[in-house]
A and B are shown apart, each in its own frame.
Chain A
Amino acid sequence: MKITLDHVTKRFPNRNKKIHEDVIAVNDFTFEILDGKLIGLLGPSGCGKSTTLNLISGLEMPSAGRIFFGDTDVTNLPAENRGVGLVFQNYALYPHLTVMDNITFPLGNLRGAEKLTKEQMRAKATEVAKLVQIGELMERRPSELSGGQQQRVAIARALVKMPSVLLLDEPLSNLDARLRLQTREELARIQRETGITTIFVTHDQEEAMSISDLIVVMKDGVIHQIGKPQEVYDSPCNLFVAKFLGTPPINVFEGCVRNGQVFIGEEAVLDVKLTGDAGAADSGDGSLPVWIGIRPEGFVPANDGRLTCALSKIEVMGRDTSVVSTHPSFVGTTIRSIIPSEDVTGIGGEIVRFRLKPSKVCLFDKTTEKTIGFEAR
């Protein structure tokens, strides 16, 4: 099912009663989710991701705007009539029911013509249990399961009624690191096999990037960017998105663009031709102050490199090597660059020089922090 949010806004009364201004959790959201996709809602905590999920599920009603499932307006439809599946961050499994009873619980709500017999319910439950691979746990109670198993039960419970949309709130955050990796593959597989439109919320960019068809980057109730993971990573629309995606994070320098060259300190590190509005501004002689973001993999050590940094240390990580260095114009403490181990030879001493890969460099306006388009020359 296609889901459309049309200028959706959600305000909450301020918890601090002295401040009468409402808190805007979700501000003027407009986006469309195509049928059968896996969408990641990504953002730091408190950015309105979970509220967005609650609005789609119907647990909360928007203050303004419309929500459509397919072409039908469901804006004020109560949660119980929307037919969505929701997996909670802490799973919310009923502790007094067995796994089987937990999974069949939603089926027991069907009435009239849709009413199922006990056997039909058990058959359906067994089927989903097989899909999420918990077939052998059906008679246990939630307290007897590990975190990962509880997670699967929660997904099975959400899937058993074949929802039109599956919503997952921080599905992996309660799992340990190793299990998280495994479970996220599993999630992607389940989504592929069922073909159900799935939206999940996460604050972990790696998680979102690795499995989503599309990611939505949010902050403070505002959508910053929507796109395929690689697109968003390669061409972030602003400094926040650039910083939020990628581990190790993007390295940000203070600098300026002058006469078709990007300067960090006194060194012209890249020859560029600005495009768009900024391109017109640069045609004059003035210098344009910018933030320069360089991905860790954008550094190539070279003796004729134009960026000179003070070398701090070299961390060998097997396949890759992390070169840690400092620079006066760097924002933060240490520059972290990732270099294939075979290219490391020759680095040493007090100074390291880098050539930059233009495709791994982003420029942002110093005041608006928006991306400045450019072509490498």
Chain B
Amino acid sequence: MKQSKYKGWLYLLPAILFLGIFMVYPLIDVVVYSFEEGYNFVSQTSNGTGLYNYRYVLRDPYFVQALKNTFVLVIITVPVSTGLALLISLALSSVKPLRNLFQTVYFLPYVTNTLAVGLVFMVLFKKTEYTDGMVNLLIRFFGGSSVDFIDGPHWAKMLVMCIYTVWIVLPFKILILTSALASVKEDYYRAARVDGTRPSRIFYRITLPMISPMIFYLIITGFIGAFKAYSDEVALFGTDLNSAGMNTMVGYIYDMLYGNSGGYPSFASAAALILFAVVFTITCINLMVSRNNVHY
């Protein structure tokens, strides 16, 4: 009997091994790295411990740039994508014919390779010596002047980045909100209708409170996801994000680790921990706000 008492551990062993080596150990290690000063990758030695890595990272103009970009991305895309997803889901749930077709179409971006479709977006927005590109054609059609969205001014690049991010995250949000809306019992709406409730009042007093837990869930995960933005940017602007001025915090971490400016795991670790701290703080704030606003 004694032997079987510990048999559970046997079943857990592979998982514990993998998680231990590739998650728990790295978690401790990253903290250690972030305090080791002047760590040398080849000799794997350092010349002391301290906060130098953090000071360096926080003073690095590339990091500041990445931080700014990330915050702009978060502040713009989270509300826009959540709001748009809510609008689309509301529209979806108030029609019947073709609903499935629309749902399928809206979900498509979720299953595409972001790098691949990013390339298409680049082509759509890019201005080359041959052509101004599809989007500029539209802009000029409405009387504007063409802009190079990929190699042009910072605001234009930021705009493409936000548009692409929204395009990528919408499917998930639409899916979640549509099922949240479907789970609101029909009788509530019928009761409201019999009472002669205006559609706007039904929305604000019934629908919105009922789906508020899901909306807050989407906002929280949306914040976390947007803070971790990276591959969408690579898809649009190439791997050298620093020189494009479009780097994100995660991009900065990877660039510190590897690539043209790489080879500094200590700086990367410090940046990663700063990112974690920011995400953690914002998630806590979000949770606190949602606890005060979600009623049940």
Contacts and interface: CB of A to CB of B under 8 A. Distances in A.
A79 interface: yes
Contact of A90 (B187, B196, B198, B201): B187
Contacts, number: 64
Contacts of A85: 194
Contact of B185 (A57, A78, A92, A105): A92
A90 B209 CA distance: 20
B96 to A, nearest CB: 12
A115 to B, nearest CB: 13
B210 interface: yes
Contacts of B209: 94, 96
Nearest to A163: B194
Interface string B163-206: 00000000000000000000001011011111111100100011
Nearest to A81: B196
A86 B185 CA distance: 16
A92 B192 CA distance: 10
Contacts of A314: none
A94 B185 CA distance: 10
Contacts of A141: 296
Interface residues of B, number: 19
Nearest to A95: B296
Interface in A38-84: 57-59, 78-84
A85 B194 CA distance: 7
Nearest to A86: B194
Given A88-B190, A88-B191, A80 B296 contact: no
A95 B211 CA distance: 12
Nearest to A88: B187
Contact of B197 (A80, A82, A86, A143): A80
A88 to B, nearest CB: 5
Contact of A105 (B205, B210, B295): B205
Interface string B123-144: 0000000000000000000000
Contacts of B190: 59, 79, 86, 88, 92
Given A96-B296, A106-B196, A86 B191 contact: yes
A193 B193 CA distance: 26
Given A57-B194, A80-B194, A81-B196, A92 B201 contact: no
A209 to B, nearest CB: 28
A109 B295 contact: no
Interface residues of A, number: 27
Contacts of B185: 90, 92
Contacts of B197: 80, 105-106, 109
B201 A108 contact: yes
B296 A105 contact: no
Interface string A118-148: 0000000000000000000000010100000
A86 B190 CA distance: 9
A143 B296 CA distance: 10
Q: Which of A81, A96, A108 has the most CB of B within 10 A?
A: A96
13 contacts: A59-B193, A59-B194, A79-B194, A79-B196, A83-B196, A88-B190, A88-B191, A94-B188, A95-B296, A106-B195, A108-B201, A141-B296, A161-B195
Q: Which 5 A-B pairs have the closest CB atoms?
A: A106-B195, A92-B187, A80-B196, A96-B295, A96-B209
